[in-house]
Amino acid sequence: MKDFGEVLYYFPGKVGKLISDTINNSNNASKIVLELQEIRIRCNRPIILRLRSCEIVIEYNVLENEILSILEKLCNNSIYAYKNQICEGFITVKGGHRVGITGNCVMEDGKIINIKYISSLNFRIAREVIGCSMKIIDKVINIEKGSVNNTLIISEPGKGKTTMLRDIIRNISNGIESLNFRGKTCGVVDERGEIAAMYHGIPQNDIGFRTDVIENVSKSIGMKMLIRSMAPEVIACDEIGSKEDVEAIKDAMISGVKGIFTMHGKNLEEIKLNRNINELIENKQIEKIIFL
């Protein structure tokens, strides 16, 4: 995992000490750090460290001013400068860690213009598993032709779709010398900042050196922008499903751009219930479907 100190930095005072002491005083400190997925902070409720197979509850009710202190740290002491991100419900911080935010939403013309009285923060710990896609890379690329198959990666939530997608992008972008596969120019639409985890314009995750990223924009708009401006050979995005997504994918394929996408689901029958996605499958525009 990336340096855990990057995460602890955002927990000043007693909250940070409690988290640090809980981990360091455990007999399995290294295992906790390795398996830690989330740190959940809720006003007037205990702190929860969520691991892969269990959770650790720290019996300390977090105070409102402590949540505000954490938020200020996340925003480099300028909450106003991060207003747009806060209104999207999350902030991406150095290291690619993503912090979800809930509270009292202020609405105007059907849009969130502010979130006040922040009640919960969810630190989602960023992880890269370099090389994990090598198990399936021969399905994603056509080694004989030196090209990429239009691929749909499917799994239930939390099973590693985004992690797998990220490593596939890295491999396709850099090229795979052992397979004599030349690197391709890749375009990533990172709508929620979870693939590249950009921080001040710099990807915090390794997505390859031939990869261009556009973030904080809808997948449908982002795909069109990338194709117009960056001429990618391969385009990738996470969790497709809407009619607009599928229309943009069709346009990309007509332009000769290959695509790698992910989607929530359990099996093929469930996926086909989405009429938009089923159309891509029935028309054989999706060449490979991989279930994790």
- For 8, residues 6+ apart whose C-beta sits below 8 A from its C-beta are 16, 19, 20
Question: Of all residues in the chain, what percent carry a pLDDT higher than 70?
Answer: 99
pLDDT tens per residue across span 132-158: 999 999 999 998 999 999 999 999 877
Q: Which of 83, 70, 80, 82 is nearest to 11 (CA)?
A: 70
The Cα–Cα gap between 15 and 208 comes to 36
Q: How far apart, in Å, are the Cα atoms of 196 and each of 52, 206, 207, 208, 246?
A: 22, 7, 6, 10, 22
- What integer best gives the mean pLDDT of the chain? 90
- What confidence category does residue 187 fall into, taking pLDDT thresholds of 50, 70 and 90? very high
Q: Any idea what DSSP says for residue 125?
A: P
Are 240 and 234 within 8 A, CB to CB? no
**Domains of the chain with CATH codes:** 5-124 (3.30.450.90), 132-291 (3.40.50.300)
Q: Is the pLDDT of residue 2 over 60?
A: no
Confidence at 120, pLDDT banded by 50, 70, 90: very high
Which of 79-88, 114-123, 180-189 has the lowest average pLDDT?
79-88
Reading the block at residue 140, the tokens are: 């994603």
DSSP code string of 50-62:
EESS-EEEE----
Output 92 or 177, whichever has higher pLDDT.
Answer: 177
Q: Can you give the pLDDT at residue 223?
A: 95
Query: In angstroms, what CA-CA distances link 229 with 74, 89, 99, 136?
Result: 32, 28, 30, 30
**Is 231:223 a contact under the CB 8 Å cutoff?**
no
Say what the pLDDT of residue 3 is: 62
Question: What are the helix (H) ranges across 135-255?
Answer: 137-140, 161-174, 219-230, 243-254
Q: What is the pLDDT of residues 22-71, one digit of tens each?
A: 999 988 888 888 889 899 999 999 999 999 889 999 999 999 999 999 99
pLDDT of residue 82: 81
